[in-house]
Structure 1
């Protein structure tokens, strides 16, 4: 079951400033420069702790800084008020391609989440410390399924409503620094507030370390796309 989530969503005014460049694609020096040049970047919150940290206390310091950075952004009004549990549909348009995803959560004990790669213990520990301190997830684990019929139905119904006259209003419509356009809608249909059933196993496309860290942090559910 893909379940609804309580979410704080970036406000349109803050989105271009807060959404960072593809952070994981930067070198360590480039990451440091990005953080120095962009005090409001969400990379201050979600940047992965370096695997080179030699002691668990360094992970704790990193997680504490992440928490303070998030609290700062919330205090500045970068995020709206927390929404009631809901599923969301996201559209990403980049380089001539368009991709849709359903955003929600899954309960770890209810699903077999099949991996395709190993994880690094130090990175898992650092992310688990981050989850423990911040108390929430900001980057969804990307999953896929061989039979996503119900998921597809919710996405198609929401996109159709967004393209109708009058259109379903987006809760966020912004462009990122690398030129991608990101649009987010509250999902329509009754499943939007109750959840969507999925058949068979779910496969992890991206987020192996986040899954392992969520288990280590005793999270019952994980944010997914």
Structure 2
């Protein structure tokens, strides 16, 4: 099977994209989703976060939630708000925000390639989150959350994409939740589709940037359907919904850390312990680290600049990551945080919220100390994935975010 294929996408009817477009299901809470969907009966949040249509306090993992999502999907198709393309397409997709622009291809990506390691991962998944997404896919009989993917670059692929995007887009919408502009060019011409598929298939590998749980869930659903129906590499469930961008166009923001207490240290004692491990300098303003192995710290109403001796940096690509260095030199030995994935004393703040959010949480007494991080380079992510290793949790925050609802992948006949 080819690495990525055309498929008959489910999309908003002409002129309806602004009514449908929604943030990814996993970046908003139930309360935020309910507020964003208020007065918007066709928001895709009614499909991706259907608990908003059930009584407050409903468990998002209750059977009724998944059923309501399927009912809402069927209703939006019956009412003609969402329409399935009559034949397979690829979709050139551009996101633009704050002077940044990236253009890629929406395609159905091979689950077999994912299982064989040609679609490469860099994170562990949590079984509970994976099970939730698998159940959602199975009950809806659709993949509604696209996986964000990267490739190392292909002149042939980018030339084809640029050729398509030279025409006016069919969809041009600004998301009301974050101001990101989304443009889509469906590609229906069989010769152009074949050329794009061949260029995608010539890529050595794809790298999951965001969507490890969605891709793992798609693979789980595919395995179960293979068991029930036999192996069919052409079945829709043998592929998952992905949006594929050149790595050079993708933007990773900092993913910062806040810690609830100082593990028994006073602020002065904590600073003294830090100085034995790295260079610590007071800063006059918030610190956004400009290079690897440096960190900002907000403690007791003041900012500091932290830096490790470059000669102490390991060669291993995982241990060399800034998130690993902070854990090895500060979080674990000084604050007793050995498992950031499970320790309730640590929380993570995406760089899109700004350094002011770190100050706010510390000043409010909610947290004792905050660390600002240098963004993980895309090349570092791919190097880790190439080695079959995993990065520490919350290592990357990609912006802009893909929108939900603009292209979905049905696994069976229309409901």
Partner of 2:186: 186
Are 2:109 and 1:106 aligned?
A: yes
The corresponding residue for 1:82 is 85
Find the partner of 1:72 among 71, 75, 83: 75
Matches within 5 A, 1:22-171: 24-47=26-49, 58=62, 60-111=63-114, 112=117, 113-160=119-166, 162=167, 169-171=168-170
Partner of residue 241, structure 2: 223
Secondary structure of the 1:119 match is coil
1:137-156 alpha-carbon deviations (Å, 9 max, x no partner): 12221111224344323212
Pick which of 86-95 and 111-120 moved more: 111-120
Distance, in Å, in 1 between the alignment partners of 2:38 and 2:50 is 16
Which structure 2 residue ranges, 5 or more long, are not aligned? 52-57, 223-236, 244-415
1:205 aligns with 2:209: yes
Task: Count how many residue pairs are aligned between Structure 1 and Structure 2.
Answer: 214
Q: Aligned equivalents of 1:150 and 1:110: distance in 2?
A: 21
Larger relative contact order, structure 1 or 2 (CA cutoff 8 Å, min sep 6)? 1
Q: In structure 2, do the counterparts of structure 1 residues 132 and 189 end up closer, same or farther at CA, with 3 Å as the change threshold? A: closer
C-alpha displacement at 1:89, in angstroms?
0.3
User: Is 2:76–2:82's contact at 8 Å kept on the other side of the alignment?
Assistant: yes
Task: Say if 2:1 is the partner of 1:13.
Answer: no
Separation in 2 of the partners of 1:209 and 1:42?
Answer: 19
In 2, Cα distance between the equivalents of 1:175 and 1:41?
Answer: 14
User: What are the superposed Cα offsets for residues 171-200 of structure 1, whole Å, 9 maximum, x if unpaired?
Assistant: 322221032221111236824146232322
Q: CA deviation at 1:210?
A: 0.5
Instruction: For 1:200 and 1:148, locate their aligned partners in 2 and report how far apart those are by CA, in whole Å.
Output: 10
What CA deviation, in whole Å up to 9, does each residue of 1:74-116 have, x standing for no partner?
1221123433111110111222221111111121113422111
Question: Kindly tell me: are residues 102 and 221 of structure 1, through their superposed partners in 2, closer, same or farther at Cα, counting changes over 3 Å?
Answer: same
Q: 1:94 to 1:78 in 2, by over 3 A?
A: same
Change (3 A) 1:96 1:147: closer
Gapped regions of structure 1 (runs ≥ 5):
163-168
- Choose 1 or 2 for highest CA Rg: 2
Quick one: structure 1 residues 181 and 36, their matched pair in 2 at CA, closer, same or farther if it must change by over 3 Å? closer
The C-alpha deviation readout for 1:188-223, integer Å capped at 9, x for no partner, is 682414623232222101110011111111131011
Closer/same/farther in 2, CA of residues 40 and 213 from structure 1, 3 Å limit: same
CA-based RMSD: 2.7
CA contact 1:157–1:189 (8 Å) conserved in 2 = no
TM value normalised by structure 2: 0.47
SS in 1 for 2:105: strand
Question: Equivalent residue of 1:174, what SS?
Answer: strand
More strand by share: 2
- Find the aligned partners of 2:14 and 2:214 in 1 and give their Cα distance: 27
Aligned residues of 1:90 and 1:102 also touching (Cα < 8 A): yes
Worse overlay, 69-78 or 105-114: 105-114
User: What CA distance in whole angstroms lies between the structure 1 residues aligned with 2:113 and 2:22?
Assistant: 33
